[in-house]
Amino acid sequence: MTIRTMTIDDYDQVWHLWSEIKGFGIRTLDDSREGVEKFLKRNPSTSVVAEDGGMVIGAILCGHDGRRGCMYHVCVAEKYRKHGIGHQMALAAMEALKAEGINKVSLIAFKSNTIGNKFWRKVGWTFREDLNYYDFTLNEENITRFIE
Ligand SMILES: CC(C)(COP(=O)(O)OP(=O)(O)OC[C@H]1O[C@@H](n2cnc3c(N)ncnc32)[C@H](O)[C@@H]1OP(=O)(O)O)[C@@H](O)C(=O)NCCC(=O)NCCS
C-alpha cells in the first residue's frame, strides 16, 4: 500500500470509490471531473490517494485558501479499513498543507457519522462545541446525491 499525491488521472478510480461509501454526499458540479480538476489545479499538492496494486483504495480531497486547510471526502474502501490507512492519509495531507505554510486544518463530519466522528477524535482532532457552521448555496445546480 502506498500513499501519494492525487492527480486528475486518479479521478475515475476515486469517483468509483466515493460511489461505494455509504452516507457520502456526491455533488453534481463540485465532484464532477471538471469540478475536481478545478480543485486540484488550485491545490496541486495536498490531496492524497492510497493505492494497493495499482488500485485506489482510499482518498482525501484536501486544499487551502491561503489561510486554512480543509479536507473533503475522506474515505477508505470498506475491506481496507482499520489498518491505519485513513490516519496515514490524513497525516500525509497535513504534511502537504504544512509544506504550503498552512497552520490550521478543518473539516465537516455529519453528526450521524459515528465512525467518522470516532476516527477524528482518535487521531487527535478537536471537536469544536463552541462553533456553529454556516453556509450559503451559490449555485442551485450543484445538487447533492447521498450514497445509500
Ligand atoms: C473514517 C475512515 C476514513 C477511517 O479509515 P480507516 O483506515 O479505517 O481508519 P484507521 O485505521 O486509520 O483508524 C484510526 C483510528 O480511528 C478509529 N476508528 C477507525 N474506524 C473505527 C470504527 N469503525 N469504529 C471505531 N473507531 C474507529 C480507531 O480508533 C483507529 O485507531 P486504532 O485502529 O488504533 O484503534 C473510514 O472508516 C471510512 O472511509 N469511513 C466512511 C467515510 C467516512 O465516514 N469518512 C469520514 C467523513 S468525516
Q: What digits encode the pLDDT tens for the residues 62-105?
A: 999 999 999 999 999 999 999 999 999 999 999 999 999 999 99
The response to whether residue 86 sits with its C-beta less than 6 Å from ligand 1 reads yes
Residue 80: all three cell numbers together: 481496507
The response to whether residue 116 sits with its C-beta less than 6 Å from ligand 1 reads yes
pLDDT of residue 21: 95
Over residues 97-140, the pLDDT tens digits come to 999 999 999 999 999 999 999 999 999 999 999 999 999 999 99
What is the average pLDDT score of the chain? 97
Say if residues 124 and 90 touch (Cβ distance below 8 Å). no
pLDDT band at 5 (very low <50, low <70, confident <90, very high): very high
Over residues 137-148, the pLDDT tens digits come to 999 999 999 999
Atom of ligand 1 nearest to the CA of 88: 12
- Rounded to the nearest whole angstrom, what is the distance from the C-alpha of residue 140 to the centroid of ligand 1? 32
The response to whether residue 77 sits with its C-beta less than 6 Å from ligand 1 reads no
Please give the helix or strand (H or E) that residue 14 lies within, else none. helix 11-18
pLDDT of residue 66: 98
Number of residues that this document lists for the chain? 148
- The domains located in the chain, with CATH, are 2-146 (3.40.630.30)
The response to whether residue 121 sits with its C-beta less than 6 Å from ligand 1 reads no
The answer for residues whose C-beta is within 8 angstroms of residue 101's C-beta and 6 or more apart is: none
For 69, counting Cβ atoms within 10 Å of its Cβ (0-12 exposed, 13-18 middle, 19+ buried), the class is buried
Residue whose CA is closest, atom 38 of ligand 1? 75
Closest CA to 63 of 23, 24, 94, 21: 94
The C-alpha cell 486554512 sits at 68
The response to whether residue 42 sits with its C-beta less than 6 Å from ligand 1 reads no
Mutate to test the pocket of ligand 1, among 85, 115, 127 (most ligand atoms within 8 A of CB): 115
